[in-house]
């Protein structure tokens, strides 16, 4: 194993979790800035060409992990690995953001759903290769159908 260390921190409009949109149909359109630490900014070379990025980050303010829990979208409990719950054994978040522009070590992005000053572990270009017609959405599809 390795000891994870942040490559930077993300600035977002969210000071507390209640202000982050959640639940069915929640839209994540808030803008934020990912500030990459100076020792890693060379790694941003050529990133401007990508419209969207995967951001891997740390749920640094989550509670103890829960293997079963009810997400905000459903009153029924589900296994943590079938949800995007912050309370996971390894508290790692994954968000796809739109890259608006880069200014040196700053990435201006849209679509943040993390708290202000959340540590960022990694960034990768987003390249979707799964055709939408082959995607199955598990229990979420059932909730969406019940709420139509
Ligand atoms: C449902 S999780 C999804 C996060 C990410 N898109 C994912 O799939 O891993 C988003 C929620 O995590 C919580 N959260 C955001 N930033 C956090 C942080 N730094 N520490 C703990 N919880 C956080 C907020 O309640 C937010 O609504």
- Per DSSP, the chain holds a count of helices (H) and strands (E) of 1, 8
Cβ-in-10-Å burial (0-12, 13-18, 19+) of 55 comes to buried
Per domain, the residue ranges of the chain are 8-146
Phi, psi (degrees; rounded to nearest 5) at 143: -65, -45
What pTM, to 2 d.p., does this model score? Answer: 0.94
C-alpha 61 – ligand 1 centre gap (Å): 9
Taking alpha carbons only, the member of 84, 89, 86, 120 closest to residue 105 is 120
The CATH code that applies to domain 8-146 is: 2.40.30.70
Cβ-in-10-Å burial (0-12, 13-18, 19+) of 80 comes to middle
pLDDT in tens, 8-23: 999 999 999 999 998 8
pLDDT, the chain, mean: 95
Give the residue, 97 or 144, on which the prediction is more confident. 97
C-alpha 84 – ligand 1 centre gap (Å): 8
pLDDT in tens, 36-76: 999 999 999 999 999 999 999 999 999 999 999 999 889 89
Q: Which of 65, 69, 78, 113 has most ligand 1 atoms within 8 Å of its beta carbon, as the pocket-test mutant?
A: 113
């Amino acid at each position: 194993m390795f000891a994870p260390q942040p490559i930077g921190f993300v600035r977002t409009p969210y000071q507390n979790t209640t202000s982050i949109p959640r639940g069915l149909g929640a839209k994540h359109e808030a803008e934020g800035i990912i500030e990459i630490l100076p020792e890693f900014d060379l790694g941003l070379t050529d990133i401007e060409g990508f419209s969207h990025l995967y951001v891997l980050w740390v749920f640094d303010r989550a509670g103890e992990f829960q293997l079963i829990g009810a997400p905000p979208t459903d009153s029924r409990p589900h296994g943590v690995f079938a949800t995007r719950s912050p309370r996971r054994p390894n508290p790692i978040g994954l968000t796809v953001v739109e890259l608006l522009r880069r200014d040196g070590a700053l990435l201006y992005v849209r679509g943040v759903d993390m708290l202000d000053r959340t540590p960022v572990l990694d960034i990768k270009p987003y390249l979707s290769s799964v055709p939408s017609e082959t995607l199955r959405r598990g229990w979420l599809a059932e909730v969406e159908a019940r709420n139509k």
